[in-house]
């Protein structure tokens, strides 16, 4: 049941994007009786459509509109037109995510205070903290049915996890487990139990992994208060002479420009599209783009310090069997500058199928050094490294006026240079990851470079003071009172943890605030 | 990011008569090439058969897997046998042959040692022809479902109920 709202209905909240931020926000608002139009650039794909086939699924789900890159990051060299591996579909990247659901650590909300002056970094404390977020995290864990929270047991460990666990314990790590995952781990739950299919990145065909595509969106639609418009790609956000936003122009499925009026606009298009929409909405009143009086829109792009370590053994592992992110080591997530860097990182198992392993193990490599690794694909184990990267003002999403999308709008250029702290942390993590596998008899290990980014953060960051960022502690833009940011682009800093749980917690909190302010007549 | 080249256009047949040797691995006749053991053959319509034979060898030299038969490399490069691609491919292979001749060999295919052929490829690895072939192979070779079992990869599992009862945690050597 969808609620069709008129384009001229200026009482609706327009939410742009239906992923972890927008999808949750839209549902939460609808549950509270707020009328919502959600504009989704992609189509709707559900578990029956998902493909157990890496490249075919990539073609089905990935955001493939043109983008450009610059900077010294290796992604710019290896995947110049594909800086991010994110999804263009109802549910956004929650179709693709692996399910890791971790809270920020207390000190990570206070990065500037905790880490001190880090040269070249634009660190800032969040205007919110662990105590403020605790109840919202609890609500998020209940929504996502996160294992090892509440009374939910952990998932069983697969082969890839068992290798990882044995190696990690052998070198003295203690925080080793199958982690906190938004995946149904028991047969008696509300949703299908994980069947260890092994294609978490391609959309869970059991619906065992939480995704807004098949949980929050249909829940919201069932209230009659939420209308989702698919294949509706936003061009720009409109405003009036009073400096308030009034509606959203978008291209519909047929490419026709439509305009939906709005009482409030919430932007949740991921850290490239969200600033792009603000910048593409520049007007005579806001010549640098909406909500950009600080000049901070698009800046402080973060992508986590990522890397992977793969290893081959003299016997089979078959890492592709079972959950893709099957376990975690948390010991290195602490802040301990004696290691030569600030902040910390998590080690999480990861597997790729043969087609993606060929593309990502060492992009561009060829010859026997490379192919002898793939020859032992069956004997391979793998982990991903995810750590806090330093925000830098010059790591930045800007409009590239030389390249236009299918609607004639400038695409984004994504500029990223690694900070020396990122490099020091990555080198440390490579050594630890290789040590884990060496401890259980790896015959060869591979310190694999970052993939196109899945954790895209910053670019509309949250700040106490208007001059330091784009939004306040509610995700409300400092400049425009009825314009909100609702995705990971509002992150002040990235922390070491996978971001989805925090995006969801912030969206639940923002929905509560929005509904309250609207009922008071403040919005 | 392209879809994999399918097995269309490839036929298995017995060793063809009137074939002439053009390299270590291939027997080439007018408009077709075939494996010396007769395991497979392929017709070309836009590329010279010798060019296709060189491409197959080049593909193997870029991503050598000794347990993967030529047939799969041939499938991976078969897509270049088009009117649009032919001119660039012929020029690229001609450049390969010229480099081989500069080192005293009759052609790229006539070079007996992989290391000699790889030296030539290393010298040209930044040029667009090499990058086109290498880049295309990432999906053209490794995304062939028929290749996956040769590496132990099992592909889709949903239709078999996942691995929950099929060995997701069956490792026994730790």
Query: Whose CA is closest to A419, among A496, A304, A333?
Result: A304
Q: What is the pTM of this model?
A: 0.95
Any chain A CB within 8 A of the CB of B158? yes
Any chain A CB within 8 A of the CB of B118? yes
- The series of mean pLDDT values per 10 residues for chain B, 174 residues long, is 38 32 54 75 90 96 97 95 96 97 96 97 96 96 97 98 98 97
Nearest Cα residue in chain B from A319: B168
Q: Calculate how close chain B gets to A371, using CA atoms only, in Å.
A: 6
Q: Calculate how close chain B gets to A428, using CA atoms only, in Å.
A: 26
Q: What is the pLDDT of residue A82?
A: 93
Q: What is the pLDDT of residue B25?
A: 53
Q: What is the pLDDT of residue B36?
A: 75
In chain A, residues with a C-beta closer than 8 Å to the C-beta of B127 are: none
In chain A, residues with a C-beta closer than 8 Å to the C-beta of B163 are: 158, 195-198, 321-322
How do residues A502-521 score in pLDDT, each as one tens digit? Answer: 999 999 999 999 999 999 99
Q: Are A226 and A36 in contact (CB under 8 A)?
A: yes
pLDDT tier, A141 (very low <50, low <70, confident <90, very high otherwise)? very high
Q: What is the pLDDT of residue A3?
A: 73
- For strands A328-329 and A345-349, give the pairing: antiparallel
Q: What is the pLDDT of residue A58?
A: 96
pLDDT tier, A54 (very low <50, low <70, confident <90, very high otherwise)? very high
Considering only CB atoms, B171 lies closest to which of A162, A355, A368, namely A162
Q: What is the pLDDT of residue B33?
A: 77
ipTM: 0.95
In a 3-state reduction of DSSP, which class is residue B32? strand
Query: Whose CA is closest to A75, among A408, A301, A315?
Result: A301
Beta bridge partners of A257: A251
Taking only Cα atoms into account, the Rg of chain B, rounded to an integer number of angstroms, comes to 18
Q: What is the pLDDT of residue A378?
A: 98
How do residues A441-467 score in pLDDT, each as one tens digit? Answer: 999 999 999 999 999 999 999 999 999
Q: Calculate how close chain A gets to B33, using CA atoms only, in Å.
A: 25
Q: What is the pLDDT of residue A339?
A: 98
How do residues A328-370 score in pLDDT, each as one tens digit? Answer: 999 999 999 999 999 999 999 999 999 999 999 999 999 999 9
- Best B62, B131, B142, B150 member to test A by mutation, with max A CBs in 10 Å, is B142
How do residues A245-267 score in pLDDT, each as one tens digit? Answer: 999 999 999 999 999 999 999 99
For chain A, what is the mean pLDDT? 97
Any chain A CB within 8 A of the CB of B112? no
Q: Do A199 and B158 touch (CB under 8 A)?
A: yes
Angle formed at CA A460 by CA A458 and CA A461, multiple of 5 degrees = 65
Instruction: Enumerate residues 6+ apart whose C-beta is below 8 A from B62.
Output: A366, A367, B121, B133, B134, B137
- Best A49, A323, A368 member to test B by mutation, with max B CBs in 10 Å, is A368
DSSP code of A466?
G
Region A420-426: mean pLDDT is: 98
Q: Do B142 and A157 touch (CB under 8 A)?
A: no
E strand or H helix at A311: strand A305-312
Region A406-411: mean pLDDT is: 96
Could you give the C-alpha distances from A361 to A85, A307, A310, A390, A457, in angstroms and in order? 16, 10, 8, 25, 24
Q: What is the pLDDT of residue B114?
A: 96
Read off φ and ψ for residue A453, nearest 5 degrees. -70, 135
Q: How many CB atoms lie within 10 A of CB A457?
A: 28
Considering only CB atoms, B143 lies closest to which of A55, A367, A440, namely A55
Show contacts of A223-226: CB within 8 Å, 24+ apart: A223/A30, A223/A31, A223/A33, A224/A1, A224/A3, A225/A3, A225/A29, A225/A30, A225/A31, A225/A33, A225/A34, A225/A35, A225/A36, A226/A2, A226/A3, A226/A26, A226/A27, A226/A29, A226/A30, A226/A36, A226/A38
In angstroms, rounded to a whole number, what is the distance separating the alpha carbons of residues B61 and B53?
12
Q: Calculate how close chain A gets to B95, using CA atoms only, in Å.
A: 20
**Chain pair A-B, CB pairs under 8 angstroms:** 125
Cα dihedral across residues A434, A438, A442, A443: positive or negative: positive
Read off φ and ψ for residue B37, nearest 5 degrees. -90, 0
The per-type count for chain A, helices as H runs and strands as E runs, is 12, 17
Residue A327 has pLDDT above 70, yes or no: yes
Region A181-191: mean pLDDT is: 95
Beta bridge partners of A16: A39, A267
Q: What is the pLDDT of residue B162?
A: 98
């Amino acid at each position: 049941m969808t609620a069709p709202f008129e384009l001229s209905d200026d009482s609706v909240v327009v939410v742009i994007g239906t992923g972890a931020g927008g999808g949750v926000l839209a549902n939460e608002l609808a549950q509270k009786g707020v009328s919502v139009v959600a504009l989704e650039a992609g189509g709707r794909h559900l578990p029956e459509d998902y493909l157990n086939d890496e490249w075919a699924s990539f073609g089905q789900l990935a955001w493939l509109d043109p983008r450009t890159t610059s900077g010294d990051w290796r992604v710019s060299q290896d995947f110049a037109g594909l800086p991010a591996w994110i999804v263009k579909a109802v549910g956004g990247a929650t179709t693709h995510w692996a399910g890791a659901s971790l809270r920020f650590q207390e000190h990570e909300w206070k990065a500037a205070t905790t880490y001190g002056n880090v040269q070249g970094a634009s660190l800032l404390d969040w205007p919110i903290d662990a105590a403020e977020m605790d109840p919202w995290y609890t609500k998020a864990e209940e929504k996502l049915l996160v294992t090892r929270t509440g009374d939910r047991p952990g998932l069983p460990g697969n082969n890839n996890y068992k290798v990882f666990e044995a190696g990690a314990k052998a070198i003295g790590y203690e925080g080793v487990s199958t982690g906190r995952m938004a995946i149904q781990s028991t047969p008696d739950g509300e949703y299908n139990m994980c069947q260890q299919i092994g294609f978490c990145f391609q959309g869970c065909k059991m619906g065992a992994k939480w995704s807004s595509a098949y949980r929050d969106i249909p829940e919201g639609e069932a209230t009659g208060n939420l209308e989702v418009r698919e294949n509706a790609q936003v061009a720009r956000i409109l405003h009036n002479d009073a400096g308030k936003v009034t509606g959203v122009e978008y291209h519909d499925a047929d490419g026709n420009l439509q305009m939906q009026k709005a009482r409030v606009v919430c932007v949740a298009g991921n850290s490239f599209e969200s600033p792009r929409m603000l910048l593409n909405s520049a007007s005579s009143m806001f010549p640098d783009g909406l909500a950009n009086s600080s000049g901070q829109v698009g800046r402080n792009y973060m992508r986590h310090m990522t890397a992977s370590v793969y290893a081959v053994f003299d016997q089979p592992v078959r890492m592709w069997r079972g959950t893709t992110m099957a376990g975690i080591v948390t010991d290195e997530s602490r802040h301990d500058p004696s290691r030569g860097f600030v902040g910390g990182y998590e080690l999480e198992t990861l597997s790729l199928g043969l087609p993606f392993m060929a593309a990502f193990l060492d992009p561009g490599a060829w010859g026997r050094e490379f192919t002898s690794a793939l020859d032992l694909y069956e004997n391979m184990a793998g982990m991903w490294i995810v750590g806090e990267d330093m925000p830098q003002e010059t790591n930045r999403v800007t409009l590239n006026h030389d390249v236009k999308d299918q609607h004639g709008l400038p695409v984004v250029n994504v500029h990223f240079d690694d900070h020396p702290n990122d490099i020091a942390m990555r080198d440390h993590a490579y050594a630890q990851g290789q040590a884990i596998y060496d401890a259980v008899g790896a015959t060869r290990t591979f310190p694999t470079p970052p993939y196109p980014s899945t954790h895209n953060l910053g670019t509309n960051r949250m700040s106490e003071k208007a001059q330091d960022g784009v939004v306040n502690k509610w995700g409300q833009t400092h400049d425009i009172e009825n314009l909100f940011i609702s995705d990971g682009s509002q992150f002040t800093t990235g922390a070491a943890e996978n971001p989805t749980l925090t995006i969801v917690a912030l969206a639940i909190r923002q929905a509560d605030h929005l509904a309250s302010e609207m009922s008071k007549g403040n919005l | 990011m392209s879809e994999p080249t399918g097995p269309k256009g490839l036929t298995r047949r017995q060793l063809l008569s009137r074939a002439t040797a053009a390299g270590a691995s291939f027997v080439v006749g007018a408009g077709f090439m075939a494996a010396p053991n007769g395991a497979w053959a392929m017709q070309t319509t836009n590329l010279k058969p010798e060019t296709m034979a060189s491409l197959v060898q080049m593909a193997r030299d870029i991503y050598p897997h000794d347990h993967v038969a030529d047939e799969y490399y041939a499938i991976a490069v078969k897509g270049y046998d088009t009117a649009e691609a032919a001119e660039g491919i012929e020029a690229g292979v001609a450049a390969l042959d010229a480099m081989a001749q500069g080192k005293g060999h009759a052609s790229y295919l006539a070079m007996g040692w992989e290391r000699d052929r790889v030296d030539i490829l290393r010298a040209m690895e930044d040029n667009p022809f090499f990058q086109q072939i290498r880049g295309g192979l990432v999906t053209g070779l490794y995304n062939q479902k028929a290749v996956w079992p040769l590496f132990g990869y099992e592909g889709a599992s949903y239709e078999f109920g996942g691995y929950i009862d099929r060995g997701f945690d069956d490792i026994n050597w730790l």
